[in-house]
């Protein structure tokens, strides 16, 4: 099933003969599927090669085998350098597209700068009849190719960064569900096409959780517990960091305290590769963009967040109880709270999509808003805030099983009104199951509005 990626597909299907293209994104995000879909209607010969974590010569020999299999080479010829391979291909009369997938693997056991220099030479001098597509899952290493210091800087005709599908595209995997259930599935399973293809569209959330992420032999469980971290030398430390962050927003000092590494500097070193790989992010309230003390860290991947919230510390209980009993004892009691926190992110994404499509004008930034309430001696964040030219639009997001009542609206409105420093130009409410009553001057959105773009 090919869902979303329409813009990326159109971009990748253009003619890049004589040029290089880069496609990158984390594992199981759909890079290979996108590339193969783009090559389905390619008018010239194609070859797909996934690099080995081996020597350059081992990769040359394997690439030659793929060229023979694709009938670009008649027999397995002997080459001693990658430049020689492309020099020979460049003498052939036909045009061709050559995909070098998992490019970072080629750099693991070889001198990275040398590998990049080799491909600089190939791109500059040996692509007369070739379209070269470099792809990779190690986001940090792929992003490094775009830096001015790198030999491949400026060598790509187009660069495509593939993120997870947004909540709107992901809902196409289960189109007949209610908005309430669409939010729940996205909150748990995220936007990976690989993960969502494993779900049964007609199954309940409980049934899909039990059959996948709580099933130790399922591909989804392995994705969350092993595959996502398989390339990281900091795997053990990463797991400890993820377990601390879980479903929440954690300040740096909180993570230090939990891991007992306060003021050693080790935590920053451990978190850097995870941030480079965009597995975790550091987020600032839009009214405190330069205040590191107000920043928080979160796990970006919903499925990974679910795994480390519910399963990681309780893995032995899952083995003893089995999936269904484990769900009832460990997941069900707090699952709605887990989903509610993810719903806030969906609401921010909704406004981002509205701005990108041109339907919403005048928005300068979207995020959360940090507030101090000295009268009531508390502080916190409004989780959905739109920065406008002369103030803010604040939205309260509620993942309720029932419609939101007018009393609840009044309480939330009073909480916003208590923050005297906040210039509220618009106050709104987003209730996934709608409202019992509505009154002016507030703005109201429900689940049908959030998923109206499907």
Which strand (E) or helix (H) includes residue 429?
strand 424-431
* Residue of 226, 234, 247, 435 lying closest to 341 (CA atoms): 247
Total structural domains in the chain?
2
Record the pTM: 0.91
Residue 271 to residue 297: CA distance in whole angstroms: 10
Instruction: Decide which of 107, 130, 161 is a domain's last residue.
Output: 161
Is position 416 within any domain?
yes
So what's the pLDDT on residue 301? 92
Looking at residue 261, its pLDDT comes to 79
Confidence (pLDDT) at 247: 86
Q: Please say which residue of 161, 192, 214 terminates a domain.
A: 161
CA angle 59/62/66 to nearest 5° reads 135
118 in Cβ contact with 74 (< 8 Å): no
Predicted local distance difference test score (pLDDT) of residue 231: 54
Q: Strands of 45-50's sheet, edge to edge? A: 45-50, 96-101, 130-136, 20-24, 156-161
pLDDT at 232: 53
Distances (CA, A) of 230 to 27, 188, 194, 355, 400: 10, 21, 17, 37, 37
For residue 406, being part of any structural domain is answered with yes
Is 113 part of any domain?
yes
- Specify if 173 maps to a domain: no
Q: Rounded distance, CA 386 to CA 368, Å?
A: 8
Query: Does residue 155 lie in a domain region?
Result: yes
Answer yes or no: are the C-beta atoms of 141 and 147 closer than 8 Å: no
How far apart, in whole angstroms, are the C-alpha atoms of residue 351 and residue 138? Answer: 30
CATH of the domain at 417: 3.40.1350.10
Question: What pLDDT is recorded for position 228?
Answer: 55
pLDDT of residue 234: 55
Task: Judge whether 220 lies within some domain.
Answer: no
In a domain, 217, yes or no: no
Assign residue 102 the CATH number of its domain. 3.40.50.300
Structure tokens at 429: 């409410």
Last residue of a domain, one of 144, 161, 178: 161
Q: Structural domain of residue 400, as residue ranges?
A: 344-450
Question: Cα angle at 218 between 139 and 310, to 5 degrees?
Answer: 75
What are the average pLDDT values for consecutive 10-residue runs of the chain, which has 454 residues?
A: 87 95 92 93 93 94 96 94 96 96 92 95 96 93 94 97 95 97 98 95 98 96 76 66 89 88 79 85 93 92 94 95 98 97 96 96 96 83 94 97 96 92 94 96 96 81
Does residue 65 sit within a domain?
A: yes
**Alpha-carbon span 391 to 393, nearest angstrom:** 7
Buried b (16+ CB within 10 A) or exposed e, 229-253: bebbebeebbebbbebbbbeebebe
């Amino acid at each position: 099933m090919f869902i979303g990626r329409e813009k990326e597909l159109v971009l990748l299907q253009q003619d890049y003969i004589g040029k290089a293209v880069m496609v990158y994104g984390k594992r199981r995000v759909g890079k290979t599927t996108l590339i193969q879909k783009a090559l389905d209607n390619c008018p010239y010969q194609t070859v797909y090669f996934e690099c080995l974590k081996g020597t350059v010569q081992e990769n040359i020999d394997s690439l030659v085998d793929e060229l023979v299999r694709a009938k670009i080479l008649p027999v397995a010829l002997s080459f001693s350098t990658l430049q020689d391979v492309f020099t020979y291909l460049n003498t052939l009369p036909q045009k061709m597209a050559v995909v070098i997938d998992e490019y970072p693997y080629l750099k693991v056991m070889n001198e990275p700068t040398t590998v990049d220099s080799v491909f600089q030479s190939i791109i500059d001098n040996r692509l007369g009849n070739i379209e070269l597509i470099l792809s990779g899952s190690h986001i940090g290493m792929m992003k490094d190719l775009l830096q001015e210091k790198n030999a491949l800087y400026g060598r790509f005709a187009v660069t495509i960064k593939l993120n997870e599908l947004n909540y709107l595209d992901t809902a196409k995997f289960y189109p007949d569900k209610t908005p309430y259930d669409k939010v729940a599935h996205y909150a748990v399973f995220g936007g990976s096409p690989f993960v969502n293809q494993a779900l049964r569209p007609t199954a309940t959330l409980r049934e899909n959780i039990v059959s996948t992420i709580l099933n130790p032999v399922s591909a989804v469980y392995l994705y969350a517990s092993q595959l996502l971290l398989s390339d990281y030398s900091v795997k053990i430390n990463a797991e400890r960091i993820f377990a601390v962050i879980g479903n929440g927003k954690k300040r740096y000092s909180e993570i230090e305290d939990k891991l007992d590494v306060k003021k050693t500097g080790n935590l920053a070193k451990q978190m850097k590769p995870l941030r480079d790989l965009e597995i975790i992010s550091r987020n600032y309230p839009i009214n405190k963009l330069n205040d590191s003390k107000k920043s928080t860290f979160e796990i970006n991947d919903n499925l990974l967040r679910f795994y480390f919230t519910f399963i990681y510390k309780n893995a032995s209980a899952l083995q003893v109880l089995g999936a269904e009993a484990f769900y009832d004892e460990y997941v069900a009691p707090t699952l709605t709270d887990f989903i509610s926190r993810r719903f806030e992110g969906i609401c921010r994404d909704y406004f981002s999509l509205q701005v990108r499509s041109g339907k919403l004008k005048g928005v300068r930034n979207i995020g959360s808003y940090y507030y101090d309430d000295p009268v009531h001696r508390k502080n916190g964040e409004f989780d959905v805030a739109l920065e406008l030219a002369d103030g803010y639009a604040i939205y309260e997001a509620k993942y309720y099983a029932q419609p939101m009542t007018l009393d609840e609206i009044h309480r939330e409105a009073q909480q916003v009104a208590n923050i005297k420093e906040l210039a509220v130009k618009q106050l709104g409410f987003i209730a996934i199951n709608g409202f019992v009553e509505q009154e002016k001057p507030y703005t109201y959105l429900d689940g049908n509005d959030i998923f109206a773009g499907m």
